């Protein structure tokens, strides 16, 4: 998954990055709050790990900005030198989800991170994922639609599964490319758009079928479930129709 880490000490940032990568996650490091907040307006992440004392703003203020201004429910873990109970309470009241004290113990950091991710994204860890007519079996790498098997190419399957695992979430283009293609040179913007177009057609991800795969200009894509009856009833009646 895609992790953001904020710490002004390069050695601590590198330790966090190494720990996250050792358990299979991508980790993007930031050394000041301004850079992180700028990135959060343009990209999406699955979890944030941050320090309390930063060069430009205090950690709780960063959390309040994310929860308030950005209205984000991104899971947040404080990793800090602060040890007092009052600090823990203040961090959690600001909107953080968990709190651990430095020095960083890599086993504990990995365990707390994985626990937060399991709670925040349960579909990422389920053996089967079912949304309406779409039935994924990730371990077998199969997809059935209305009970019939649907063949998808490797990247198409990875992208479809990731979108359904994150139903309702806006996912930035960078997030999608990293999740499906990694960080290699083949992860082009054009390739992502082509795969999105193919999936929309092959899976018929349109409102009349109960799902919508939409592009959010300048940001990325969102797959969401839609009640077709509600969608139709919300449309204005044609001119001349009875009321």
Digit-coded pLDDT (tens) for 57-113 = 999 999 999 999 888 999 999 999 998 999 999 999 999 999 999 999 999 999 999
Query: Does residue 162 carry a pLDDT above 50?
Result: yes
Pairing of strands 47-50, 2-6: parallel
Report residue 136 as tokens: 């994924």
pLDDT at 115 > cutoff 90 = yes
* % of the chain residues with pLDDT over 70: 91
> Once rounded to an integer, what is the mean pLDDT over residues 161-181?
94
> What does pTM read for this prediction?
0.84
pLDDT above 70: residue 243: no
Instruction: Summarize pLDDT for 185-218 with one digit per residue, the tens.
Output: 555 667 899 999 999 999 999 888 889 999 998 8
| CB 192, CB 177: distance < 8 Å | yes
Q: Nearest to residue 181, comparing CAs of 192, 197, 170, 165? A: 192
Beta strands 134-137 and 129-131 are: antiparallel
- Cα separation, 66 vs 59, whole angstroms: 11
Measured between alpha carbons, how far is residue 97 from residues 11, 62, 193 in Å?
A: 24, 14, 34
Per-residue confidence (pLDDT) for residue 184, from 0 to 100: 62
Domains of the chain, start order:
2-120 (3.40.50.2300), 125-230 (1.10.10.10)
CA 159/CA 116 separation, integer angstroms: 23
């Amino acid at each position: 998954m895609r992790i953001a880490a904020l710490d002004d000490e390069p050695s601590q940032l590198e330790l966090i990055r190494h720990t996250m990568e050792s358990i299979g996650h991508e980790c993007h490091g930031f050394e000041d709050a301004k850079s992180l907040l700028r990135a959060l307006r343009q990209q999406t992440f699955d979890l944030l790990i941050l320090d309390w004392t930063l060069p430009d703003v205090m950690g709780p203020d960063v959390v309040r900005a994310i929860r308030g201004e950005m209205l984000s429910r991104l899971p947040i873990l404080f990793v800090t030198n602060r040890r007092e109970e009052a600090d823990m309470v203040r961090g959690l009241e600001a909107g953080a989800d968990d709190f651990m004290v430095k020095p960083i113990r890599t086993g504990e950091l990995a365990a707390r991170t994985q626990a937060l991710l399991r709670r925040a994204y349960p579909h990422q860890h389920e053996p089967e994922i079912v949304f309406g007519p779409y039935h994924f079996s990730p371990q077998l790498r199969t997809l059935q639609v209305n009970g019939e098997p649907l063949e998808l190419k490797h990247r198409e399957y990875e992208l479809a599964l990731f979108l359904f695992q994150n139903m309702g979430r806006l996912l930035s283009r960078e997030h999608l490319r990293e999740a499906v293609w990694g960080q290699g040179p083949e992860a082009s913007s054009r390739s992502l758009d082509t795969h999105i177009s193919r999936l929309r057609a092959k899976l018929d991800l349109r409102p009349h079928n109960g799902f919508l795969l939409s592009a959010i200009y300048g940001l990325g894509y969102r797959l969401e479930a839609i009640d077709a009856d509600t969608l139709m009833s919300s449309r204005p009646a044609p001119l001349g129709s009875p009321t």
